[in-house]
Chains A and B, each alone.
Chain A
Amino acid sequence: NAGVTQTPKFQVLKTGQSMTLQCAQDMNHEYMSWYRQDPGMGLRLIHYSVGAGITDQGEVPNGYNVSRSTTEDFPLRLLSAAPSQTSVYFCASSPREGSNTEAFFGQGTRLTVV
């Protein structure tokens, strides 16, 4: 019953460091995405993927890279962390779009950049 699993749960980075946030889902979902949640801003879409080998930008993609080599995994890379990237990051997955689809979210990664 794993669903969407994100690691790590917490991370502190220094400005300029790089890191990868991991996301894995075991529901064989085609769609996966990354959102960031900031106080007073709701959730905003960073990048998304509609299948292995296919990615696209969301509303706030700058400073982040993604790739989708398998259906299960969708890592988010920060190449050079900045304080503005301090946020809570959520990975989500869903089946192919349709009238009854639903997004499933991981528990989040709280990232602090100092």
Chain B
Amino acid sequence: GNSVTQMEGPVTLSEEAFLTINCTYTATGYPSLFWYVQYPGEGLQLLLKATKADDKGSNKGFEATYRKETTSFHLEKGSVQVSDSAVYFCALSDRGGGADGLTFGKGTHLIIQP
């Protein structure tokens, strides 16, 4: 079956530091890959996605590249802000990314200190 493995936190960084959150996956076929973010007290919202190998998703200064050869989709940001503090979930879907078929990692709690 499908599965997603991501580094577990909490990850604590200082403001303006470089961020990497690792994510690897196991899937049959060629899934779409996603990063979702959950701010305190809120539901999940899509941060970025990539639907095929070598695609780069980007949004709000975050980016991730779909690496089929290493089955990875690592999240990066060059300079984090306090407002980036949240829980980040890597996810995959072999059904296009709809509400019916997302497989999530366990989530990474990111804490940015001023």
Nearest CB on A from B13, distance (A): 21
B46 to A107, Cβ gap below 8 A? no
Question: A41 at the A/B interface (Cβ < 8 Å)?
Answer: yes
Q: Most chain-A Cβ atoms within 10 A of its Cβ — which of B32, B89, B99?
A: B99
Complex: chain A residue closest to B45, CB-CB: A105
Nearest CB on B from A40, distance (A): 6
Q: Which residues of B contact A106 (CB under 8 A)?
A: 43
Question: B51 at the A/B interface (Cβ < 8 Å)?
Answer: yes
Given contacts A41-B106, A42-B107, contact A90 B43 (CB under 8 A): yes
Chain A contact-residue range equals 20 to 34
Chain B contact-residue range equals 20 to 34
A103 to B99, Cβ gap below 8 A? yes
Nearest CB on A from B32, distance (A): 7
Interface residues of A in 73-114 (CB under 8 A from B): 90, 92-108
Question: A50 at the A/B interface (Cβ < 8 Å)?
Answer: yes
Q: Which residues of A contact B49 (CB under 8 A)?
A: 102
Bound-complex Cα distance A56 to B98 (A): 14
Complex: chain A residue closest to B41, CB-CB: A107
Across the A-B interface, give the 3 residue pairs with the lowest CB-CB distance, nearest first: A105-B43, A97-B96, A94-B98
- Seen from chain B, the residues whose Cβ lies within 8 Å of a Cβ on chain A are 4, 8, 32, 41-46, 49, 51, 89, 95-102, 104-107
